[in-house]
Amino acid sequence: MVTIVGYKTFEKENGENFYCLVVQGGIEAVKSQQTGRTYITAKTVNVPTTFNEQTCSGLIGEKISGVVKKVKTDPYDYTVTETGEIIQLNHRYEFVNEEDSIIESNVIEQEIPIH
């Protein structure tokens, strides 16, 4: 389950606004690479919607079946907001609904033999 914790407004190229719900997955324990100490965090992602601002605002606190999942991507540069440091990442986080998550975790990719 994920929880809707907020929403954000973005502007399309044509000047129209659209809204994304900010959804947060469950808590997880992570070990700091700098200190080696464990801390608790929760991943959040923006999920585009067709809703207006009033609807998005009213959905805060609602729970949705699904997970926030780490997905591999091509490498890209990311600037750490707090420090200004530029690091290279090869993943992003995205919301996956419960049905797709179950299918993904139970499908085995078939290898094609080369003769």
Listed residue (17, 72, 79) closest to 48, CA to CA: 17
| Residue 114, in any domain of the structure | no
CA–CA gap between residue 112 and residue 106 (Å, rounded): 19
| Residue 112, in any domain of the structure | no
Q: Is the pLDDT of residue 60 over 90?
A: yes
| Residue 18, in any domain of the structure | yes
Domain count across the chain: 1
| Residue 30, in any domain of the structure | yes
- Asked if residue 1 lies in contact with residue 11, where contact means CB atoms within 8 angstroms, the answer is no
Write down the pTM of the prediction: 0.74
DSSP 3-state of 10: strand
* Owning domain of residue 36: 2-106
- From first CA to last CA, the distance across the chain in angstroms is 45
Condensed to tens digits (0 to 9), the pLDDT of residues 3-46 reads 999 999 999 999 999 999 999 999 989 888 778 889 999 999 99
